[in-house]
Amino acid sequence: MTTDRTFLLKRRRVWRCSLGIPSSSRLVQYVPLFYHGVSPVSIDQSLQQPVPTRQSLGIIRRRTFARYHGQGGASDGSKMTTTNQAGCSPTWRICTILLLVCKFAAANTQTFIVSNTVDDQIGKDFFVGPCLVNTNQTCPDEEVTFFLFTKYNPEEGQQLFVNDTSSNLADTNFVAALPTKIIVHGYNSDMQLSYLVDVKNEYLKRASYNVIAIDWHRLAIAPCYPIAVHNVPHVGDCLAQLVDRLRDYGAKDIHVIGFSLGAHVPAFAANVLRPYKLTRITGLDPAMPLFITVNKDEKLDSSDAEFVDVLHTNAFIQGKIEPSGHIDFYMNGGVNQPGCWEHGNPFGCNHHRATEYFSESINSKVGFWGWPCPGFVAYLLGLCPPRFPAVLMGEDVNRKYRGFHLVKTKAHSPYAEGMFTVEDFYQQNLYQ
């Protein structure tokens, strides 16, 4: 029996040597260099050389990419490591890796690129294809920027610079006495997403506000959703740093509006800001993937602000079905939106409707009115006919109400139907 086991172990060792596969982190570094004719020996030598550092002040968060990719990411902040599985011949390893690289290159023209940027020797920012892995998560960060819009500069944002102790707020149009709205985009997007630009424009049309748009697009680029999720806590840290400087400057009414993946950003900011609480957080169809089983400190929930209101428009697909705030509005049931199946991308249409409904609510004359329901199962069973009290959804939501609410809209803009009458709804089939 012992002899057979020894034989199997030797066979396994030979098999590993013949493959010569390095750890995933080392392969990430090998690939682009093979494209340029650099040998693994040169790579190993170059990894021992110091890399220029980029100094940065502020919050430091140490996380490893291993959360999503096993042990593939670099976590020691100085170099990526590989494991010599069984003392295999370097020649075999080199030849096998070359074959793997050639095969990969034939199947995919997108190369892996690893940057040589290191912050304070804590972590390495690098690209995997188009995906920016930000392992040294320090604020302020050039990848997380803030732009202020006011009635004096409605189109051209003034960039805000903040760190642990100071800011340039005094040199901008920011007015501490005015309400402050902070807009956070989501995955595969940026601050120029038209639906979020509409939110900004509607606020500036309504009254005088400080509207701040956060841009973290390089940390949220497609097709890198797991990496974008990994970067969300860091963006939350930088948002918390911004909020601290706004408060230092005298701001009191701070409302964060986050769309999709961006709806979870203020949740992480809330963790850093404790015991202070933001005045309000509005979640616009908070992202569901990779946020189903995490605890409350890692997703948006009612404890993150004095008042949290949430719109659901694409539940089970891109958005969450579970209640995430003090009050949750399930628009047309929260899963599919009328008019979206005529759209070329119905799921994207459903998801973005959350921003369209909210932006329209800011200046709507008729309003989006909803009614209470015990929960989603009761809704599916047809046990939630319209009833009073009617609750207004959107910017002017009544903050004394709580729980699950249903709202019906039109299929095309303007979407608001105004105040419902119970008799009208009884004559319609809301559940179609």
The residues annotated with a catalytic role in the active site are 260, 285, 351
- Do 125 and 188 share a domain, yes or no? no
- Do 291 and 191 share a domain, yes or no? yes
- Do 262 and 313 share a domain, yes or no? yes
Measured CA angle at 99 (ends 93, 104), to 5 deg: 120
Residue after which a domain boundary falls, among 82, 108, 138: 138
Residue type, 375: G
Q: Which of 18, 44, 19 is nearest to 29 (CA)?
A: 44
Residue 328 vs residues 283, 337, 397: alpha-carbon distances, Å: 9, 16, 11
Phi, psi of 329 (to 5 degrees): -105, 120
- Do 353 and 240 share a domain, yes or no? yes
pTM of the model: 0.72
Distance of CA 169 to the CA centre of its chain: 26
Residue after which a domain boundary falls, among 118, 138, 158: 138
117 falls within a domain: yes
161 falls within a domain: yes
Structure tokens at 174: 């920011």
**Cβ atoms of 394 and 358 closer than 8 Å:** yes
What string of pLDDT tens digits covers the 432 residues of the chain?
A: 544 544 444 444 433 333 333 333 333 333 333 333 333 333 343 333 333 333 334 444 434 333 333 333 333 333 333 334 444 444 444 444 344 433 433 344 343 333 334 344 556 678 888 888 877 779 999 999 999 999 999 999 999 999 999 999 999 999 999 999 999 999 999 999 999 999 999 999 999 999 999 999 999 999 999 999 999 999 999 999 999 999 999 999 999 999 999 999 999 999 999 999 999 999 999 999 999 999 999 999 999 999 999 999 999 999 999 999 999 999 999 999 999 998 789 999 999 999 999 999 999 999 999 999 999 999 999 999 999 999 999 999 999 999 999 999 999 999 999 988 776 544 455 444
CA atoms 132, 136, 142, 145: torsion sign? positive
Cis peptide bond prior to 275, omega within 30° of 0: yes
**Cβ atoms of 157 and 95 closer than 8 Å:** no
- Do 95 and 161 share a domain, yes or no? no
Q: Which domain holds residue 371?
A: 145-426
432 falls within a domain: no
Q: Which of 377, 375, 426, 415 is nearest to 393 (CA)?
A: 415
- Do 119 and 238 share a domain, yes or no? no
Residue after which a domain boundary falls, among 122, 138, 154: 138
The structural domain count of the chain equals: 2
- Do 66 and 161 share a domain, yes or no? no
240 falls within a domain: yes
